[in-house]
Structure 1
C-alpha cells in the first residue's frame, strides 16, 4: 500500500496532466499481455505488422515478470501536456545511479534481461531511443483520438472536484484508491511506501492502466484508468431513436447520441463517418438550441450533452 499525506496546500495544488511518454510506456503492458487488454486488441492488430522493424527484445524487456516498469521512463510531467521530446530529454538526463536503482527495483528477485545489461548510461540512452521509435510507430498515428479520451476524462474529474471536493474526485479514480482524513491510500501495490505532504499532487489519466498506481520516491503523482477507454477504437455508434431523428433530423440525432462522454469534433466525425465540417455544423445547431454544451480543455474543445439533451435522448 502507498500512503500519501495531503494537507490543505496539497489539495489546493492538485493538477492534471497528460503524458505521451507515460502512455507509450504503459502501452507495453498491452503489448506484453494482450489477453489482459481486450479493449486494445484492435490497436494491437493495427500496429503488429510494423513492430518487427523495432528492437522488440529491448522494448518488451522493460516490463518485468511482476509487471513493473522502471520509474525513470515515466518522469512526472512538468506541463499539462508536454511534448514527447521534452519528456524523453528528461529521461536522457536521468542520473545513471537512478537508472541502475530503478532497473534493480523493477527486476527485484529476477535476473536483469540481456537487453538491459551494460553501463546504466548506455542502457538509459538505448531505452530512450527505442521508446521514441516505438512512439512514432505505434502511438503517434492514433494520438489525437487517444488524447481526446484523456482530455474528456480530465474534464469529468475537474467537474467532480468542483462539485464534490476531494472526496468526490479521489473516490472516482479506482476501487483501489481510498481517501480518508487527509490520507490518500493506494491499495494492491507491491511495495509499501509513505509520501509526506507539501508538494502538491499530479493526477495523470491513462488508457492502459488496470488500477491506480504511483511511482515511488517521486513528487506525489497518481496514474489512474481513464473513463471512456471502451469508446477509443469505436468506428460506429448506436443509432439514435427513430422518433428523435424525425424531430431534429437523423444526422443531428446521431451526433447527439454519440456524445455519451465529452468528445471532440474529429472523434465524432470518425465515429459517424461524416466530415468534420458537417459535424461542426450539427454541433453548432445543437448548441444553439441548448442540447449540447461546449468546454475548452487546453488546446482541445470538447462537446457533451446538456441536461436537456439527455432528457430528449432518453425520452
Structure 2
C-alpha cells in the first residue's frame, strides 16, 4: 500500500508545481481557476535501550494531500476538494498498523441567483484505502472495513451560500446517498445498514447539509473546519448522520509544518456510539497557491453585479 500510495502525492505535487511556475506575472495569475493545495509527509520515531521507564521501538509515517480547486467566472462557481491521507506505525513486538486512512473527494457546481447564493448540484465520495480490523487494526483480528467497504457516494441538488473564500455552506433538500460494501466478507445483514446478506449497497434519500469554514488564528497558524449532517427521509429520519473534522496547521517554515487533526462521527448504521479520531504530526510540507481568484481582486468583481 505504501509503495502505491506515495506516487499519488508525488504526481499531484509535480503537476501542480509545474503549473505554478508557468504563472510569472500578476496578469497571468488573475484568472478564473485557482488551486490551493498542501502535500505533507510526517515522520515519527522512538528508540529505547535499557530504559527503565520502558517503551517499545517504533517508527511511523503519515502522508497527505489536501487540495481546493476552484473556478469562478461571471455567475459560475465550481469548487472541487481532494483530501487524501494514509499513515502507518510499526512497533517492535506488535507489528505494522495503519494510523490514518481517508479518501474524501467532492465537486459542486453553482449558478448565482442572488448575492452570495447559488443554485447548485454536486457529488462526493468518502472511503478508505486499506482494510481495517478490530483491536487496533490488528490484521489477525476480525476485519471491519476495506476499500469501498464502506464507501459513501452522495449526489444531490440544492443551494450554496458562499459570502467569501473562507466560508461555504451547501444545503441539499434532495440528496441520494449510496452506501457501498464491496468486500464480500462484510456483506451481511445489519452491517453498515445492509438489509440482507450478500447485499453490496444501500440506498437512502434525504437532506444533506455541509459547511467549510477556514480560520486564520494567527500568523502561520490556520484552522479548517468541516461539518455535515444527513437525514434519511425514507427510514428513521431522526437518526442523523453527523460529522465534524478539524485540521490545525502550524507552519514552521516553507517546508516544515505541524498538523493536528480531529474527526468526530456519529452514524447509527456503523456503530451506535460517537466515533473519535485524532492525529498529530510534524514533517515536510509543500504548499501550492496557484492563481488569484477574480473575487480576490476588487477591480475584477464586475461579475458580482450581474
Q: Normalising to structure 2: TM-score of the pair? A: 0.23
**More strand as a share of residues:** 2
**More helix as a share of residues:** 1
Q: Normalising to structure 1: TM-score of the pair? A: 0.23
